[in-house]
Structure 1
Amino acid sequence: MTSPRDIAPASPASARGRGHPAEVFFAFLRLGLTSFGGPVAHLGYFRSEFVQRRGWLDDRSFSDLVALCQFLPGPASSQVGMALGLSRAGWLGCLSAWLGFTMPSAIAMILFAHGIQQWAGLAAGGAVQGLKVAAVAVVAQAVWGMARSLCPDRTRAGLALFAALLTLALPTALGQVAAIVLSGVVGWLVLKLPPQPTVAQAGFRVPRAAGAAALALFFLLLFGLPLLSGLVGGRLAGQIEGVYRAGALVFGGGHVVLPLLQATVVPAGMVGNPEFLAGYGAAQAVPGPLFTFAAYLGAVSAGPVGGWAGGLLFLAVIFLPAFLLVVGALPFWDSLRQHGAIQSALAGVNAGVVGVLLSALYDPVWTSAIHTRADFGIGLAAFGLLVYARVSPVIVVLLCAAAGLAIPG
């Protein structure tokens, strides 16, 4: 007798495009409430849920989708989720997947911002100092891991050091963009990488016209928002432009959003460095994508928009480039990945962002969090737990907060 467990999941061809947005929303909501561990862990949860358990697509299609989203700027796991929702239930499915996966952590971060604002002493308390020290360890771990995988040779290691020195000399958004662009140009000219092998189309059914329109809108906003901000003036226009730029230029992992957002919100006076790093530390302790840190920044902002409205605004703005890029790239992915020059430029960009993140590890992360020997000791212990003991970041963040409370300032 056949049990329900013996029934094979639906084939990708039969499963794709036959779902309902509500089904997609609740599937991703469960993951949004439980997916700790960062983007690599998120992709593992996605494969278990949508390839093995639900059979929405096969392993080969899933692997190719992951390759696409790692190729693009933006939060890779969120982009994979958007594409899965699009495949399952169309455009509303794409929105439902993003909402389900993103909103639990976004709501938690907005509530944390509310607490920081309501209790003035909280930002200066020992627990928040512990969160800032935890951010040092988390960023150091990101630099360590990214350097090992993205800078495997002298050329890319040199690019990373060049980008770090450039962003230390020019600690502005312009310096960060210049470091990323120059690293990509050098990678294109110097690095010689083979094209990726051809694989079967994932079949997400995005028309080429829609993809081209999405890419055109992405670049229009990327280059048009700075012009609009200069013409209109005002803090809100500058903040929207900076948050969109941060979402558009994040190569190599969600941690790279840290220096890009810091250059937007801290010099403008909308968020102080202590509050910025406290929120970044807290973001390590919630499930879902790290990009929801933007919701905290919008909510804790000094204006002109703050609270829930600011949090939701910044959340939508920082994820908009990710949506436009994944929708725009899906129809053209198979031909794009064959160009070795594109692969070489991307490898240069990835090396450059390691340098940008290394620079941010010193300023503002280290300079704002490490003030005493106790701070250094907590950070060093946290780094060891993350890198060598492989303890969950959630546990490490909680331990740092507890240590911050226990050790006198």
Structure 2
Amino acid sequence: MWQIFSRFLALGLISFGGPAAHIGYFRQTFVHELNWLDEKQYASIVALSQFMPGPGSSQVGFAIGYHKGGLMGALAAFLGFTLPSFLLLFLFAVSTASWLQLDWVAGAIHGLKLLAVVVVADATFGMFKQFCQRKTAQCLMMLTAVCIILFPSLMTQIAVLVVAAIIGGLVLTRGENISPEAPEIKLNWGWLVLFILGLIASFILASQPDSLGQIFGQFYQVGSLVFGGGHVVLPLLEANVGELISQDRFLTGYALAQAVPGPMFTMATFLGADIWQESPILGALIATTAIFVPGFLLMLVTLNSWGAISQRPIIAGGLAGVNAAVVGLLLAALYQPVFITAVNLSLDMALAILGFGLLKIFKPNIVYLVVGFALAGIITSLFQ
């Protein structure tokens, strides 16, 4: 458990760039460096997370931890990856974030955003080679990226994934019939029942004003209903808890959640602490737990049977289509928000190209790249 926790804690300290970058970091660390799972297993987990509501990249990390160490491994992965951003956002909620305005801190953060460009580009390139070998898959990837870039919305993402699954099931299927030896599918219905009971309870609790129950209920609803993770959580959070906090503090929490590494969903930490000022740590813990739990419960429904499910010919074809579409989603995310928020100058582009070349040619440990890009960001900030 300590190995899982420590590995995810290290990533939680450096994972700037949002969900797409997190997927790249996970792939680089757990597929290529540690060999905890192969490309096919990893792509299946990523594809599954795209169809589940909740924090997409955190669900991928949760599933990797589950693959390595069962339920306790999944919890260790979640705690490790989330702890740094939880602590930072809690401290920001009860104090001030003025140190973020320091030139060297802003420079280091900018350097790490450039590293996110490198990591996402590498993940996109590697997954393209792995999952877009057929022309149909390549077309699905290309059309997905075009649609997301031109019409960036949650509905577009869901639509392209559904269409890719249908086309994949019809065109990319690898067999004709299910063999008698195919593993039996056994879903964990207990987790689904727990999710539904939690959702019912959330509506009851959310109607109790000025209570910790209200905080739990409203954040649980957000975690149950948001697809895509990352920045998609913003409008739902604003709709559900916007009346409990001032607009200025809400936007401050959103800005700070983007400035720290780790999952965007830990914005709930800042909001929970700010809403429940009687005991900020209690408010932060309840809000953070409530927003993450629904997505994890839904992942537990299918994780044990996902291998058996994905062996069905039509589902395997559909999964191949979704994998191709996920590559398109990564390509679109490489442009917006990763590239356009990080690359502002020709020097930024040069550093990104240099980092990508170093990663592909020498394959250094991600820690060296983190230190290098942070230092490069600090040095360049001193001359601007």
Q: In which range does the TM-score fall when normalised by the shorter chain?
A: 0.5 to 0.7
Match of 2:191 in 1: 214
Aligned partner of residue 146 in structure 2, secondary structure: helix
Provide structure 1 residue ranges, at least 5 long, that are not aligned to the other structure.
1-24, 49-58, 87-93, 250-256, 284-292
The structure with the greater share of residues assigned to helix is 2
Provide structure 2 residue ranges, at least 5 long, that are not aligned to the other structure.
13-24, 50-55, 209-213, 239-249
Q: Is the 8 A contact 2:144 2:325 kept in 1?
A: yes
Matched, 1:177 2:162: no
| Relative contact order higher in (CA < 8 Å, ≥ 6 apart) | 2
Match of 1:151 in 2: 132
Matched, 1:119 2:97: yes
Q: Is the 8 A contact 1:65 1:80 kept in 2?
A: no
Q: Is the 8 A contact 1:131 1:278 kept in 2?
A: no
Matched, 1:362 2:335: yes
Match of 1:262 in 2: 231
Tell me the CA shift for residue 82 of structure 1: 2.9
Q: Which whole-Å CA distance do the structure 2 matches of 1:77 and 1:126 have between them?
A: 28
Match of 2:348 in 1: 375
Summarize the Cα distance change of 1:277–1:31 in structure 2 as closer, same or farther, 3 Å threshold.
closer
Q: Which residue identity is paired with 1:265?
A: L
Q: Is the 8 A contact 2:219 2:290 kept in 1?
A: no
Within 5 A, what are the aligned runs for 1:5-20? none
Q: Which whole-Å CA distance do the structure 1 matches of 2:28 and 2:293 have between them?
A: 18
Q: Which residue identity is paired with 1:404?
A: G
Summarize the Cα distance change of 1:241–1:78 in structure 2 as closer, same or farther, 3 Å threshold.
same
Pick aligned residue for 1:98 from 74, 82, 85 = 74
Q: Is the 8 A contact 2:11 2:81 kept in 1?
A: no
Summarize the Cα distance change of 1:161–1:215 in structure 2 as closer, same or farther, 3 Å threshold.
farther
Q: Which residue identity is paired with 2:81?
A: S
Aligned partner of residue 171 in structure 1, secondary structure: coil
Within 5 A, what are the aligned runs for 1:297-312? 297-300=267-270, 309-310=283-284
Q: Is the 8 A contact 1:112 1:296 kept in 2?
A: no
Q: Is the 8 A contact 1:64 1:199 kept in 2?
A: no
Match of 1:132 in 2: 113
Q: Which residue identity is paired with 1:190?
A: V
Tell me the CA shift for residue 35 of structure 1: 8.0
Q: Which whole-Å CA distance do the structure 2 matches of 1:402 and 1:63 have between them?
A: 31
Match of 1:10 in 2: none
Q: Which whole-Å CA distance do the structure 2 matches of 1:244 and 1:219 have between them?
A: 10
Aligned partner of residue 362 in structure 2, secondary structure: coil
C-alpha distance after superposition, 1:130-166 (max 9, x if no partner): 1221221121111111111121121111101111111
Q: Is the 8 A contact 1:136 1:366 kept in 2?
A: yes
Summarize the Cα distance change of 1:69–1:273 in structure 2 as closer, same or farther, 3 Å threshold.
closer
Matched, 1:324 2:298: yes
Summarize the Cα distance change of 1:157–1:393 in structure 2 as closer, same or farther, 3 Å threshold.
same
RMSD of equivalent CA atoms: 4.7
Q: Which whole-Å CA distance do the structure 1 matches of 2:66 and 2:197 have between them?
A: 22
Aligned partner of residue 117 in structure 2, secondary structure: helix
Pick aligned residue for 1:388 from 355, 358, 361 = 361
Tell me the CA shift for residue 345 of structure 1: 0.5
Match of 1:38 in 2: 26
C-alpha distance after superposition, 1:327-373 (max 9, x if no partner): 4453x557534420000001111111111121111111111111111
Tell me the CA shift for residue 177 of structure 1: 1.6
Match of 2:243 in 1: none
Summarize the Cα distance change of 1:371–1:314 in structure 2 as closer, same or farther, 3 Å threshold.
same
Aligned partner of residue 371 in structure 1, secondary structure: coil
Tell me the CA shift for residue 379 of structure 1: 1.6
Q: Which whole-Å CA distance do the structure 1 matches of 2:258 and 2:89 have between them?
A: 12
Tell me the CA shift for residue 197 of structure 1: 8.7
Q: Which whole-Å CA distance do the structure 1 matches of 2:358 and 2:235 have between them?
A: 30
Q: Which whole-Å CA distance do the structure 2 matches of 1:38 and 1:401 have between them?
A: 19
The total of aligned residue pairs comes to 334
Match of 1:353 in 2: 326
Tell me the TM-score normalised to structure 1 length. 0.63
Q: Which residue identity is paired with 1:388?
A: I
Tell me the CA shift for residue 294 of structure 1: 3.9
Summarize the Cα distance change of 1:372–1:147 in structure 2 as closer, same or farther, 3 Å threshold.
same
Match of 1:339 in 2: 312
Summarize the Cα distance change of 1:150–1:129 in structure 2 as closer, same or farther, 3 Å threshold.
same
